[in-house]
Structures are given as structure tokens and as C-alpha cells.
Structure 1
Amino acid sequence: MSTRADLHDLGHHGDAEVRDCSGALVDLAVNVRAGTPPAWLRARIADSMTGLAAYPDGRAARAAVAARHGLPVERVLLTAGAAEAFVLLARALPVRRPVVVHPQFTEPEAALRDAGHTVRRVLLRASDGFLLDPAAVPEDADLVVLGNPTNPTSVLHPAATIASLARPGRTLVVDEAFMDAVPGEPEALAGRVDVPGLVVIRSLTKTWGLAGLRVGYVLAAPDTVAALERAQPLWPVSTPALAAAEACMTPSALAEAEEAACLIAVERRHLLAGLAEFEEVRVVPAATAPFVLLRTDRADAVRTRLRSLGFAARRGDTFPGLDERWLRVAVRDRATTNRFLQALDQALVATGA
């Protein structure tokens, strides 16, 4: 258990690896699905521009999200991306003993610290495959945050294991930003109303390529949604973002997302098979997300060498629970993966990793 902010750079994200590169690098550092947003979604967003003179009206998008998860609209809050949701939770809820399960996306802890909270960490172990141990979470925690599947480990925790963390007086926050990239979403908690204190956060950034538009949502009990909504500024989600949210909830869009998830699973298996050929590389087993986490000696030097060979990978040492031996790599199409594996071979040889 740790409470130190320590030396991990919680504000570092994958986009920093490709910023100012002018497209010179193949981006394996950011987990947004390649080739997105699709043409039909760009058209829906473009059509919404004719309504920019009016203030945003989120009712239709909110109803679409609610219908997609079989929930009443009172249990849905639209946000300017998942990142805003973490800020709202940190500022709006009467939290006294927050715990964040790491390694995971760093923004929840950063938001809690920025709001003045002392954050305790539960660090999952590589030797256990970064699997969740509910017994490691302190009983007195009144806020517990974890991802599923978890970024950067790509581990999908059983829904029953996560639900077992629920307690009276505890808010259980599950970041499901990558859940729609898992075929069938078998361990999803979105839509569940039987888990007390559950808050599920979702993003449309990853599957639909909308990082620049900022759109996500929160699923929670009506009183929690109301508390978060009171902490939001007026009209927090733009009209184009609302149009995108509504469009991504249609049956055809959900079918497209499922098809993409199945393709990602195939391409991930190809990437994992290629990585298994390197004795110097160890990969977190049972990866389920559109990225994999790997460990190798001198990973930072390997990452630098990969850049010189045209590939950007995500450094792992900014995630609590990881160090300079870790890299995260996004799943891409087979041709890109093959070129990356060739570059990795060269980088490992050149650095003596």
C-alpha cells in the first residue's frame, strides 16, 4: 500500500510520444482505433454543425445512451470525455479515503490529488499477471477506482470479482473505456443496477476515434449522477459531441464496434505470437484490450531506438506499479505489426536488451 505521489509522471499520456512528429512515426503509443472516425460518423458530426447557433441539447444523446444500456436516463451523465468524469468524481463526492488500483490510467489519481485528496494505492503484481486481489483493497476505503480491461496491462478482471468490492458507504468506480473493444463485453458492469455504489465510466474516444471531440459518459445511481451534474459547467458537451454520442448508440454502430472488437482480437493474437519469438521480451498474459504490455531490459533505450526506426511506443514507467522495463504497444493491422516486429528485432539487437 502506498500513499506517495513518488516520481511517476501522472500527467504523461501516449499522445506525448507522437506530438510534434508530423506523422513521421507509426503510432503504437495511442490506443485510438486506426482509420477512425468512419465516414458515416464524420458525416453525422458535420451535419450537426448547422445547429451550432443553438445551445447544446443533450436529451436525445442521453436517452440513446440510456437505451443502449437498458437504464433510465436519470442514471446517465454525458461528459466531455472520461477525463472530465474523473474530475467530477474527485470534486463532487464527499470522499475521505480514496484508493486507486494500479497499474492503471493515471488520470483518476491525478484528479483526486488535484482536488486535495490523499490517495492510497493498491499495486497489483506482475508475478500474478496483474490480476485483481480484492483482499488487497482496504476495508475502510470509501472510493475505489480501477479499470476493466485495465490500461496499460490489458487485463480483463471478472465482473464478479470487481462487484465483490462493493460495500455500504463505498463508491466503486470502474473505468470501462476499453470494454467495447472486448468481443461480447462479457465482464461489463455497465447496465448493472444491483451493485451498490457502482459508477461505470465509458468513453467513445477509443473505438470511434473521437479524442479531439471529447465525449464520454457516466452510469451511476440517480443521486450520484445528480451530484456530478451539479459540479459540471453549463453545456459541458458540445453539439457535435452529442451528435456523435447519439450516433454511436445505434444498432448498426454497435454491430460495427463488435466487428471491430473481433478483428482486434485476431490482430492481437498475431502480435502476441510475434512477441513470443523474442526471448528478451515478456508479455502480460491473457491480454484482452487493443494494446499489450511488454517487459524487456533497457526498454527506454529500445523505445528510443524504435523511434529512430519509425515507431512510437508508450513508455511504461509513468504508471505506478511499473518501471523503466515496461512498454505498451497498440494492436494494429497485420502488415503494421509485422513491420513493428522487424523494427523491434533491430532495436533489441542494437541496444543489447
Structure 2
Amino acid sequence: MDIRAGSRESLRHHGDVEAGPGLLDFAVNVQGDGPPEWLRRRLADALGNLGTYPTVAADLAARTAVAERHGRTPDEVLLLAGGAEGFSLLPRLGVRKAALFHPSFTEPEWALREAGVPVTQVLLEDPYRLEDGAVPDSADLVVVGNPTNPTSVLHPVEDILRLRRPGRILVVDEAFADAVPGEVESLAGLSLPDVLVLRSLTKTWALAGLRCGYVLGPPGLLERLQVGRAHWPLGSLQVEAIAACSTADAVAAAQDNAALLGSWREDMIRRLRDIGVAVHQPASAPFLLLRLPDGELMRKHLRERGIAVRRCDTFPGLDGNSLRVAVRPPERTEVLIDAMKEIL
């Protein structure tokens, strides 16, 4: 199967394909081996409600929790079955031409192309700054990740807002924003008539199997996103999880985790550089972009040693010499470093 960057298959190649049973997982950006105990208990307590359909009241309660978390109103919140569902809804906005920055998460491009929306790839070169990319004036939809997957680049808010134009919708993918201390450079708290912000809860809270997220934006745009959407698009456990992860205690816990991730990331960068691996910096996300003389050989070598990392030649703008690794605790990082040293 052809999964080189630019092929249709490459747009749907994600880190979960690299991981597998028995492998030490540096390929998937989900943090931890499962949701924390308090969240497990809350979801377990909600199992008794599975005999009834998700209610309008529960949806409103979750949207209200999200709105309070970001200083918004409930009608500025649309719950999603994972942040990625938001990308599948974008064609319903009726846009004529989209522009997407790369290297970046490829699911938005796949969804738009599948719907027949013409897409322009705005390729950025190292150091991957937005100011270095030219967006066509004809693009009435622009998608940017912040922080960006897989480069770990955090774009300044002012650089993102400079992409706004009359008649254009700006979509900001903030799937990893809650892993940034203070959530700096986030647009989640800004109510703007032409900006949609997508959030995922699956990474920080290890809920990838439950699919939880939401989109923030003006009510008019959110209404357009829902045209033709299935009834009961989220199950009651998803709604419950979104509400739970939006409480003040959960937000505080996420920020504590972001600080811990930051210390792990700096330790990981130091260890990688000490053995001669080029790491893209500055890095702000729970993953790192690596550059090696022969990345494909390294990836295969690590897999033989029971370690999964993310290949990056499926991202437009990158090749087989780039790899992405998730930030992990020091004891797991030590295993990765020892295995890499064998071939370096």
C-alpha cells in the first residue's frame, strides 16, 4: 500500500497503526495507559443510564460546563465524537476552496478532499512559522494546528489571527492545547464571528476509545456544521466524559499534567541530543519531531526492539528521515534512548 505523503492512504495514516500489542508505545500521543481513577468511577456510575437515549438536558449540561471552562456561552459549544469528527463536518460549511498548513494533522485534508472541496497545501519549511507560508486569497477556509502535530510548534495568537479575511472561516485545531502550561496562545476563549476552535479530550484523559471533543464558535457556524448530522451523534458516556473533563478540578489537573509533561519533554530532548539526534525546537506539545540520517532504518530497528515510533513520511513536507515520538516518563525514555544508541 502506498502511504507516501500526497497519496490518499497517507492522509489516513495515524500513529495507532504503528503501535501494537507488546510494543512500548511512542507512536500514539495519548497520555497514560487509561483514564484516571476519578474519571473511571464517574463513567462507571453513568453505566446505569445506558438504557435511555442521550438527553437534551445532558447535552446542555455538558455544553454549559465547556462554556464555563472557556468563558463562552452554551450556544457557542458543539459536542463532538472526538475532535476529528469536527473535520468531517467542515464540508457542510459550503466552502469553495480550503488551504491547510503542512506538515500537520492530515485528517482535515482527507475529509475536505473526500467531500470534493479543492485543497491547497501550504507547505512550511523548518522552523515551520506561519509567516513563511502564503495562503491563497481565494481560500475561504483555512485550517491550522496549534500546537501543530507533528512539529510540536506553538504559533503565536497574533500570527494565527493574521490569517483572517472577509468571507473566510478560520479553523484552529487545538487538540493538544490543554497539554501546554497555561494554555498560552489558545483562541478557545475568544468569541470571533469567523473562527472555529476544535478541542479533543482523548489525549490528555486517555479517552481515545471513547471519542470525546467539542468545537467552539459562533452559533451560526455551529448550526451549519450540524446540517444533516445524525440524531444522537454522541452516546451518553461521551457526553458525561466531556462534562467531567470540563470541571474546574479537571482543568487544574490537566494543567498539573502539562507542567509534568514539560519537565519530561526537556529531559527527553536533552537525552536525545546527547546521543546525536536532532530534535526540532522550540517544542511545546506532548511529542517531538526528530531528524535522523536514516529515519526508516531507525524506525525498523526500534520496532525489532519492541518500540513503536511514528513515521513522518506520510506528512506533506516531511520524509522518511523524520520520526515523531511521544513524550513519555523518564524510565520509558531510557528504554528508547538505549535502543537508539545501538544503531547510532
Runs of 4+ off more than 6 Å: none
- Aligned equivalent of 1:297: 293
Overall identity of the aligned pairs, in %: 50
- Aligned equivalent of 2:189: 191
Equivalences, count: 337
Q: Residues 182 and 288 of structure 1 are in contact (CA less than 8 Å); yes or no, is this contact kept in structure 2?
A: yes
Say if 1:134 and 1:218 are closer, same or farther in 2 by CA, change over 3 A: farther
**Secondary structure at 2:121's aligned position in 1?**
strand
Q: Distance in 1 between matches of 2:281 and 2:265?
A: 12
TM-score using structure 2 length: 0.95
**Secondary structure at 1:232's aligned position in 2?**
coil
Aligned match for 2:313, one of 314, 317, 337: 317
- Aligned equivalent of 2:150: 152
Tell me which moved more, 322-331 or 51-60.
51-60
Aligned match for 2:246, one of 249, 261, 269: 249
Tell me which moved more, 222-231 or 156-165.
222-231
Q: Residues 202 and 217 of structure 1 are in contact (CA less than 8 Å); yes or no, is this contact kept in structure 2?
A: yes
Q: Does 1:288 align with 2:284?
A: yes
- Aligned equivalent of 1:202: 199
Letter in 2 for 1:343: A
Q: Distance in 1 between matches of 2:7 and 2:239?
A: 38
**Secondary structure at 2:181's aligned position in 1?**
coil
In structure 2, the gaps of 5 or more residues are none
Q: Distance in 2 between matches of 1:8 and 1:122?
A: 20
Q: Shift of residue 278 of structure 1?
A: 2.8
TM-score using structure 1 length: 0.93
**Secondary structure at 2:214's aligned position in 1?**
strand
**Secondary structure at 1:230's aligned position in 2?**
coil
- Aligned equivalent of 1:212: 209
Over the aligned positions, Cα root-mean-square deviation in angstroms equals: 1.3
Q: Shift of residue 134 of structure 1?
A: 6.4
Q: Distance in 1 between matches of 2:233 and 2:343?
A: 44
Q: Residues 177 and 186 of structure 2 are in contact (CA less than 8 Å); yes or no, is this contact kept in structure 1?
A: yes
Q: Distance in 2 between matches of 1:314 and 1:168?
A: 38
Q: Shift of residue 17 of structure 1?
A: 0.7
Letter in 2 for 1:124: L
- Aligned equivalent of 2:70: 69
Query: Any idea what the Cα deviations from partners look like across 1:324-349, whole Å, max 9, x if unmatched?
Result: 1110000000111111111111133x
Q: Distance in 2 between matches of 1:96 and 1:211?
A: 32
Letter in 1 for 2:40: R
Q: Distance in 2 between matches of 1:196 and 1:246?
A: 25
Q: Distance in 2 between matches of 1:242 and 1:299?
A: 41
In structure 1, the gaps of 5 or more residues are 349-353
Q: Residues 6 and 314 of structure 2 are in contact (CA less than 8 Å); yes or no, is this contact kept in structure 1?
A: no
Letter in 1 for 2:65: A
Q: Distance in 2 between matches of 1:293 and 1:41?
A: 31
Q: Distance in 1 between matches of 2:60 and 2:8?
A: 43
- Aligned equivalent of 2:232: 235
- Aligned equivalent of 1:14: 15
Q: Distance in 1 between matches of 2:7 and 2:202?
A: 29
Q: Residues 306 and 347 of structure 1 are in contact (CA less than 8 Å); yes or no, is this contact kept in structure 2?
A: no
Q: Distance in 1 between matches of 2:306 and 2:340?
A: 11
Letter in 1 for 2:76: R
